Every structure is written in C-alpha cells, then in structure tokens.
Amino acid sequence: MTDAAPRLAALAETLLGAPLPVRIRAWDGSEAGPAAGPALVLNNRRALRHMLWKPGELGLARAWVSGDLGIEGDLFEMLDKVAGLVWEREPAAAPARRPRTGLAKLAALRPQPAARASGAAGTAALLRDPAARAAVRELVVLSRPWTRPAPPPEEAVRQGGLRHSRSRDRHAISHHYDVGNAFYERVLGPSMVYSCAYWTGDGTLEDAQRDKLDLVCRKLDLKPGQRLLDVGCGWGSMALHAAREYGVRVTGITLSREQAAYARKRIAEEGLTDRIEIRVQDYRDVKDAPYDAISSIGMAEHVGSERYREYAGILHALLAPGGRLLNHQIGRPPEPDEAAYEIDEFIDAYVFPDGELSPVGSTVGELEKAGFEVRDVEALREHYALTLRAWVARLEEHWDEAVRLTSPGRARVWLLYMAASALGFEHARLGVNQILAVKPGGRGLSGMPLRSRVWGGA
C-alpha cells in the first residue's frame, strides 16, 4: 500500500490542531498536503524514529543531518512555514509563554523507561489527550522496527566538566571551526569573514565585509603605531585590514589551530608579519597589556553568561586609559522570565556547543559593571539576514565541493543553521549589535568626540 503520506498528514493535523502547511512525500512514494510550495520528504521510516525517540527540534535535526529527512523546493519557504510549529519562539513583548501544543507538546516529552520498553504504550502514557495518544501510537507503528537510531556523527560529543572552562571551550571552538579551511572558503568567499557584513549599497558580499571591517576600525579610531587586540581573530581578516589600512600593530587570538595557520599564511603572503602576530591563546591568558583598542567580533557568544562579567573585566584591564572596545555580538530578545531561557538544542548539538545569546541590554550592563562607558550601540539585524542569505547561496553553489571537503551531514548542518538563522534575523527573533565602549582615563576623560558616529557610513 502507498498511503504513508496521507496517514502522516492526518496524524500531524491531530497533533498540531491544524492542517499541515506543507506537502509530505513518504518513503513509499505517496504524497499529501498542499500541491504548491515545498515538500517535506521522509526518505525512510528511520526519519520517524529519530523524531519519536527525541521529540522536537533535536529529533528533526538528527533526521535532517542523517539525510533521512529532506526538503524539495525552496528551503527558506519551508522553514518559514514550519517555524511556528517546530521552533516555537515568543515576541519580546509577550507576557507569558503560550501553552504547548502539537509538536511543541512532543518536544516537552522526555523518554522514560516505559517508553523505551513498550514503545507506543509508554509514549502514549505521557500524553493526556486520547487523540494525541492514538496519533503517537500510530506513528510508532508506522516507524517500525522500533529501534533507536544512532545520532549522526556530526553531533558534538557532550563534554564533562565546567561549562566554559578552558578545555571545554577549546573543544567547542574546534567542533565548529576546525572542519577545514577549504570548506569555509567555499561558504565565506575571498573575504573569509565569518560575521555580519555591512551592506551599504548593491555591492558584493566581499564589498560588504570590507565595509564592516572598515566600520570597526573607524569606530575604534585606529591610528598608525597603536596596538590592537583582536579577540577571536578567525582567519585574520580584521587583523589584515587594520594593519594594512590603518598602520596598527595587531595581536590576534583564537582557539582554532586551523584558523591560526590560515591567518599566518595570509599575513606572510601580504608581507605583514612585522605588524601582526597570531596566537592560539585563550583570552584569559593574554598578559601583555596595555592595548590601545580591542575588537571582539562574533566572539562573545562563546563566552557564556556566567563568564561574561569576567570576560568584560579582562578586556577592561587589557586596555590603556582612553582605549576603546568594539564588541560585535549576536543577541536575542529578553524572555519574560530570564531563568526560563534555554539554549537552542540544534545549535548546541551541531553548531556552537555551549554557545549562549544574551539580550543587548544585559551585555551593555555587564560592560558597564566592568568599568566601561558605553558610547554607542548600532543594530545591524537586517545586515545579518542579507549576509546569511549570501552564505547560503554560496554553499548551494558549491554544494558538491562542500560535501567532498567535509561530509554530507556537515554540509546539511551548515545549510540548515544558516537558512534558519537568516529567517530568525528577518523576523526579529535574533539581533546583532555593535557596542562601542571606552575605558575612561584620568578625571573621566574619554577622548571621544562630541558628535556621535563621526565615523559615518561607508
């Protein structure tokens, strides 16, 4: 019989309380749902088992990364249609979380011994609604054999010890960045900048990334001979731009050995080894103060909320009086109850282990508590949506090479996370901000101009 898709669509409607907004194509060739638009393709029954054994976002991610679940048609359209069902997010002004429904109910479940032992009966016992119990029971029947699929090898191995310890941070950074410089070349392009670009017109991605680097340099008011510390220096693009265009001496630090080797090679090719030093070093181990300026671009998301006060304090101590910090950081809307904030399961397991996002107000507060005077905050949310769409286009253009250079699963991870993130920025579920702060000198002198944003636009 070829009726798996209609049965799945009916079960989904029962669980969601609404018709499924996309078409389903099942492993038996059957289809159900709207004829127009993208299709969710279940390539085999194992896709269902991933979602039943780990209900919610992580189970869906495992099915996608393993190739058991696919999408036919426009990826952005698909994610936009299902985002409200799978990745439940509340607007910042919401007074409280909505009651969990449908897949969000399933996401709240945790496998219990009874569920492991008796399949449908154990899982159904966790749901009070008789219709939902029956739907889950039928899903289990459709997914048989009832064996637990192994997570894809691209999933990060859960580390023990304290979060954001030196060793755990090294592992997290290595998981994300040490996947091959050639892979990142295909995604990021010649600029090799892995953060939000600054779009000032109809130029290319490379133009927008150059404009972003120059914006950072102008905000820091870099002068020839000054010392710049670039925290989380990536593949050396900021260090190269600052040394070449502004004549500063740069120390770049990263925990990724692959990034450091790549950056050093670029620096040598441009003949700037006398002005740039790249270190594989934790920010907690930098001791050669003072610096005239510090850039932290896409680094603070790895620090962790419990370490942020320490991080801000260290950067403050490393700056000379009157020195400036440019902190470029992804943020999120505040939760009605901040204690309820949870790290995104897919991102934590596959993209940025231990990564955390904070509201921009919290970041400003921590910088001020460390002794900084915050002088300017610029939101670049829409810029990051454009950047991510450009990266997705490059990854799709170089898909076969990307798969060859890493693995099919790794390429699928990056495609999903960048496309979903682009929508997150477009719909204001995510933000990104450049915070310019200064370490006041004697008698509170900042050295800042009377007019804000004298750096202007590129």
Same domain, 18 and 115: yes
Q: Does residue 156 sit within a domain?
A: no
DSSP notation for 240-273: HHHHHHH--EEEEEES-HHHHHHHHHHHHHTT-T
Find the domain containing 353 and state its range. Answer: 166-444
- What is the crossing angle of helices 408-426 and 57-66, to 10°? 140
Count the neighbouring beta carbons within 10 Å of the beta carbon of residue 122: 17
Q: How many CA atoms lie within 13 A of 176 on its CB side?
A: 22
Task: Output phi, psi for 277, to 5 deg.
Answer: -120, 130
Same domain, 174 and 57: no
* DSSP SS3 for 453: coil
> Which CATH number characterizes residue 203's domain?
3.40.50.150
Q: How confident is the model at residue 445 (pLDDT cuts 50, 70, 90)?
A: confident
Choice between 92 and 68, residue whose per-residue pLDDT is larger: 68
Q: How confident is the model at residue 178 (pLDDT cuts 50, 70, 90)?
A: low
Q: Which of 143, 177, 202 is the last residue of a domain?
A: 143
Residue 98 DSSP label: P
Same domain, 185 and 126: no
What is the greatest pairwise CA distance in the chain?
A: 82
Q: Does residue 420 sit within a domain?
A: yes
pLDDT in tens, 224-264: 999 999 999 999 999 999 999 999 999 999 999 999 999 99
Query: What percent of the chain has pLDDT above 90?
Result: 63
Same domain, 90 and 187: no
User: What is the mean pLDDT of the segment spanning 129-135?
Assistant: 80
- For residue 92, pLDDT over 60 is answered with no
Same domain, 271 and 321: yes
Same domain, 131 and 271: no
- Looking at residue 86, its pLDDT comes to 52
pTM for the whole thing? 0.87
Number of domains the chain contains: 2
Q: In what order do the strands lie in the sheet with 39-42?
A: 31-32, 23-25, 39-42, 69-72
